[in-house]
Amino acid sequence: MSAVLDYIFQHQGNQKEILLYFHDLLTKELNLTSKIRYKIPFYDRRSWICYLNPIKDGKIELAFIRGKELSNNQGLLEFKKRKQIAGIEFESLSQIPFEAVHEIIHEAILLDDKIPYKGPGNI
């Protein structure tokens, strides 16, 4: 089993379901690579695209490294006092607006395909 799956299976309930859903979507359907960085799962193609962050209140945040550059036409992304990274928090699978989230993920992948992320201040 991969380090990311080991990490996911350490969680329980809704957090585990959400982590598994996004891991499968990002790796199997969208062919992103996964790796544990900073003790959480990160997903990338040419460069870092997003990560899954379990939050103490039982939620999972799907966070986009280049959130500032995304359109946020769906109005779901929140910056939480961060300058670059934006994310969306989920408590359960039933709460996920699948179509809108898929649009955001695809936009982030297209951005990465055009211009890979080189780190803060180097875009």
The dihedrals phi and psi of 43, each to the nearest 5 degrees, come to -130, 135
The dihedrals phi and psi of 34, each to the nearest 5 degrees, come to -120, 150
Q: What is the pTM of this model?
A: 0.92
Percentage of the chain exceeding pLDDT 70:
93
Q: In terms of Cα–Cα distance, which of 33, 32, 6 is closest to 19? A: 6
Q: Are 77 and 104 spatial neighbours (Cβ–Cβ below 8 Å)? A: yes
- Read off the pLDDT of residues 44-103 as tens digits, 9 standing for 90 and up: 999 999 999 999 899 999 999 999 999 999 999 999 999 999 999 999 999 999 999 999
> For the chain, which residues make up each domain, given as ranges?
3-114
pLDDT for residue 120 is more than 70 = no
DSSP secondary structure letter of residue 10 = T
- CATH number of 3-114, picked from 3.40.50.12140, 3.40.50.300, 3.90.1150.200, 2.40.30.30: 3.90.1150.200
Start-to-end C-alpha separation, the chain: 35
Q: What gap in Å lies between CA 82 and CA 44, rounded to an integer?
A: 20
pLDDT at position 119 is 62
- What integer best gives the mean pLDDT of the chain? 93
Q: Are 49 and 108 spatial neighbours (Cβ–Cβ below 8 Å)? A: yes
